[in-house]
């Protein structure tokens, strides 16, 4: 079981957290102006890399805050933890998928 360092509560077992998939996918600011293709990509398309991945977690059984984790999906090594509104370390090469955010 992974040990996830919640930026508010400190390290906790992963069973306390809920997973929120890929991070930095912003909801389009004007959904009505998106094409069906763009909307489908926002709704359904996610990256699935083997390696570092910026993803969202929520400390469901703790502070209930959403935050971001850069995790290596292959080794489960947690490379960075940061709050909503903050950005991954550029050195990790996990830039936001959606520049609008």
Find all residues with CB under 8 Å of 9, minimum gap 6, and list them: 59, 62, 63
Interacting residues with another protein between 26 and 85 (CB under 8 A): 26-28, 30-32, 34, 36, 39, 42-43, 56, 58, 60, 64-66, 75-76, 84-85
DSSP annotation of 9 = T
Chain position carrying tokens 């079981």: 1
- CA 30 → CA 26, 34, 37, 39, 85, distances in Å? 11, 7, 15, 11, 20
Figure out which of the listed residues 3, 21, 89, 95 binds another protein, where binding follows CB under 8 A. 3
Looking at beta carbons only, is 2 or 92 nearer to another protein?
2
Between 64 and 89, whose beta carbon lies closer to another protein? 64
Q: Which two tokens stand for residue 9?
A: 């509560």
Point out which residues bind another protein (CB under 8 A).
Answer: 1-3, 13, 18, 20, 26-28, 30-32, 34, 36, 39, 42-43, 56, 58, 60, 64-66, 75-76, 84-85
């Amino acid at each position: 079981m992974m040990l996830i360092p919640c930026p508010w509560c400190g390290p906790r077992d992963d069973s306390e957290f809920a997973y929120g998939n890929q991070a930095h996918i912003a909801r389009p600011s004007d959904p009505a102006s998106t094409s069906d293709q763009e909307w489908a990509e926002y709704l359904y398309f996610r990256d699935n890399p083997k390696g570092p991945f910026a993803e969202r977690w929520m400390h469901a059984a703790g502070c209930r805050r959403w935050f971001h984790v850069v995790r290596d999906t292959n080794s489960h090594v947690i490379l960075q933890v940061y709050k909503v509104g903050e950005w991954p370390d550029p050195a990790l090469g996990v830039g936001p998928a959606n520049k609008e955010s």
